[in-house]
Amino acid sequence: MSDVRTPGKPRQRHRPSKQGAMLSEELIVETALRMMREHGAGGLSVRRLGAALGADPSALYRYFAGTDDLLLAVADELIGRAIAGYVPTGDWRQDIRAIGHRIRDGYMDCPQVATLTMYRTTGRRKEVESINTIVGVLRDAGFPDDEAVRLYHALVDQGMASAAQQACWTALPDAAREAEYRVWDETYPALSPQTYPHLAAVAPLLRDEMRCNSYDYALELFLDAAAARLQVLRPRKSRAKTTIRPDPAA
């Protein structure tokens, strides 16, 4: 990730709304997140958010520079929820597996928000803490810094990409999803084995597989590849730390 702003302390300004609730950055973000979850991205506007909070829309600008600033705060909240409660075990594979699932599941909990925020860099406290945690697990496992950064990048992109695909699938009307299934159930099995021998051979397997989410399998492939890389890189790291001392007898 790039262009990360220096994280500051969360803003703690509180002001009463028309309904008597104390406005705060946290309340605004939570309300925006709920509105987007219920009504999609199109359901969020400063006017609607102000109405939901019982506050004048202009009051929101005391907390956020604009809707994009608010969107970054929502994205940061999703990141924070994904990593909240995580406790490292000391087993790097188990820890990265748990973090990977948390990233994917955290975005899938709010698919309408995920499609808007997963490609954004917030530069805020929760994102910074998340990056520090993931890179820390990898560095502590013995990965050199450059490899730890690449693996962090791949892990996060993989989790968010899976969530984005699932979010798009979830957003499809029921009839469209059923039509997708019929392609695997009817169209591919009916193809000529003479023309498409490989496809015909695996058509029943494809029918079952395409009803499943591939993220768990992809995550295990990622972990296997990372472990294989670690075995190759450990000797390199050890050699880099070795210093050659002159022989006094020479």
Cα–Cα–Cα angle for 76, 120, 109, nearest 5°? 55
Which residues is 16 bridged to in the sheet? 22
pLDDT at 5 over 50: no
**223 in the Ramachandran plot: left (φ > 0), alpha (ψ -120 to 50) or beta?**
alpha
Q: What is the pLDDT of residue 237?
A: 56
Residue 179 in tokens:
């039509």
Under 8 Å CB-to-CB from 109, ≥6 apart: which residues? Answer: 81
Evaluate whether residue 23 is within a structural domain.
Answer: no
Packing angle of the helix pair 145-171, 92-108 (nearest 10 deg): 30
- Is the Cα torsion angle 18, 19, 25, 28 positive or negative in sign? negative
Segment 18-33 mean pLDDT: 82
pLDDT at 238 over 60: no
Over residues 137-149, the pLDDT tens digits come to 999 999 999 999 9
Segment 25-34 mean pLDDT: 93
Strand, coil or helix: what is 108? helix
Evaluate whether residue 142 is within a structural domain.
Answer: no
Evaluate whether residue 158 is within a structural domain.
Answer: no
Residue 147 in tokens:
């490899």
Q: Give the chain's domain count.
A: 1
Evaluate whether residue 195 is within a structural domain.
Answer: yes
Please report the DSSP string for 188-204 in residue order. Answer: TTTS-TTTSHHHHHHHH
Q: What is the pLDDT of residue 52?
A: 92
Packing angle of the helix pair 215-241, 145-171 (nearest 10 deg): 170
Evaluate whether residue 198 is within a structural domain.
Answer: yes
Measured between alpha carbons, how far is 237 from 240 in angstroms, rounded to an integer? 5
Evaluate whether residue 129 is within a structural domain.
Answer: no
- The pLDDT-based confidence of 104 (bands split at 50, 70, 90) is confident
Q: Report whether 218 contacts 103 (CB < 8 A).
A: no
Mean pLDDT of the chain: 85
Packing angle of the helix pair 46-53, 25-39 (nearest 10 deg): 110
Closest CA to 124 of 241, 9, 7: 7
Evaluate whether residue 111 is within a structural domain.
Answer: no
Evaluate whether residue 143 is within a structural domain.
Answer: no
Residue 182 in tokens:
């019929």
Q: What is the pLDDT of residue 245?
A: 53
Segment 214-222 mean pLDDT: 95
Q: Is the full-model pTM beyond 0.95?
A: no
Provide the residue range defining the domain that includes 183: 174-209
Under 8 Å CB-to-CB from 172, ≥6 apart: which residues? Answer: 180
Percent of the chain topping pLDDT 90: 58
Over residues 60-77, the pLDDT tens digits come to 999 999 888 998 999 999
CA end-to-end span of the chain:
51
Cα–Cα–Cα angle for 151, 165, 1, nearest 5°? 35
pLDDT at 113 over 60: yes
Segment 23-44 mean pLDDT: 86
Over residues 155-211, the pLDDT tens digits come to 999 988 888 888 788 878 999 999 999 999 999 999 999 999 999 999 999 999 999
Closest CA to 181 of 198, 214, 189: 189
More confident site: 116 or 45 = 45
Measured between alpha carbons, how far is 15 from 73 in angstroms, rounded to an integer? 19
Chain mean position to CA 187: 34
